[in-house]
Structure 1
Amino acid sequence: MAFKPKQEEYTSQAGNKYVFQSVYPSKWAEILDQISDKHGKLLNSKVIPAMLEHVIVQPSGLKMDDFEGWAELEEVAQAAFLFQHGRKR
């Protein structure tokens, strides 16, 4: 079986549109190692930039400070994480 990236459109509660794209399982394992502490707790300061860089493909090049507020940033990053992790929102 060859990996085929999946895409999903996401519209935030504020009405902004995003496209998520899955990453290779090996890359996801690396990301998970980088975004959690030694106890496996996810770190927002690492999770959010990783989702913006690797999973959210449109609009591309988003940074945390491109968002007007925390609520949408957290919502979109969480939705991207759940998409990549294969869980429903």
Structure 2
Amino acid sequence: MGLSFHFQDYLELVDWSGRCLREDKRGAIDEQLPPILERLQIDPRHWLYLNRNFESRFKSLVGAAHSVRNACQQLGKRWAQGIRDCERYLSPPIIS
């Protein structure tokens, strides 16, 4: 049985906990850093959608689209199922 709270609250708890770690220890999150989804440039609505639909949207590699393409190239794969969702939900916006 899991704890009854929203996923966004869980992420905030993990982020806050990481900030409470000692600064001289590995894994500490600098207090000046923005919240985790902001740092990853992931829209919280997209994150929640993916948490509900992750297994149906992705069948292989997952991450920022450029990282998935690089991994495909290194693995000799021509494509990864879900690359469009990687572009839509997990890739930083293109600033022109």
TM-score, with structure 1 as normaliser: 0.32
Which of structures 1 and 2 has the larger relative contact order (alpha carbons within 8 angstroms, sep 6+)? Answer: 1
Bigger proportion of residues as helix: 2
Q: Bigger radius of gyration, 1 or 2?
A: 2
Bigger proportion of residues as strand: 1
